[in-house]
Amino acid sequence: MADAMVSAGAKSGRPGSDEHAPYFGKYISLVGGEDVVTTLEEQRRETLMLLSSLSEDDGDSRYAPGKWSVKEVLGHVNDTERIMSYRALRIARGDQTPLPGFEQDDYVKNAAHGRMSVDDLLEEYIAVRRGTLALFRHFDDAAWRRVGVASENPTSARALAFIIAGHELHHRRILEDKYFKR
């Protein structure tokens, strides 16, 4: 029975445009296929390969004045994944309480990511992603398709999984194109 649930949860199917705020379509569109759990697993390896050789100086670099440092970008990805996973948990469990939005710039400003080491931020990334995967691997079809309200918009659990994957991919591309371009 547990194996059936894992395989049922492994393929969430792509969310429809009525399952998320229009803003998040830009992230969802970056994710290929329908198996978001496998995508999240692959991303973990790809992101760690990209960031595992960073020095502390690399982590403190910014591509322009006033832009987030590499450490702040990684901290932002971690914070956003936590929030979106929490939303997915609540929605998948049938909680119909409207979930508030969050202001990403305030989170970065108040987080002290810049004072953390690159290694600590990567450890946090691994832990957050491991928790996200543990949650999503056990969603059944009904859980994936449940819809709640987040940031005043109908949102499904599967849309949140795709948003997590697309959001990370978006920021990884920014890191590759603007921070690590050599």
Six token digits for residue 31: 């994710």
User: Does 179 have pLDDT greater than 60?
Assistant: yes
Q: Could you tell me the pTM of the whole model?
A: 0.93
β-bridge partners, 6: none
Task: Specify whether the CB–CB gap between 40 and 162 falls below 8 A.
Answer: no
The pLDDT value recorded for residue 62 is 96
Name the CATH topology of 2-13+23-179.
Answer: Four Helix Bundle (Hemerythrin (Met), subunit A) (1.20.120)
134-150 residue pLDDT tens? 999 999 999 999 999 99
The pLDDT value recorded for residue 9 is 42
Q: What are the b/e assignments for 74-95, b being 16+ CB within 10 Å?
A: bbbbbbbbbbbbebbbbbbeee
Hey, where are the domains in the chain? 2-13+23-179
43-97 residue pLDDT tens? 999 999 999 999 999 999 999 999 999 999 999 999 999 999 999 999 999 999 9
Mean pLDDT of all residues in 167-175: 97
Mean pLDDT of all residues in 101-123: 96
Give the span between the Cα atoms of 163 and 18, in whole angstroms. 14
In this prediction, residue 182 has a pLDDT band, given cuts at 50, 70 and 90, of low
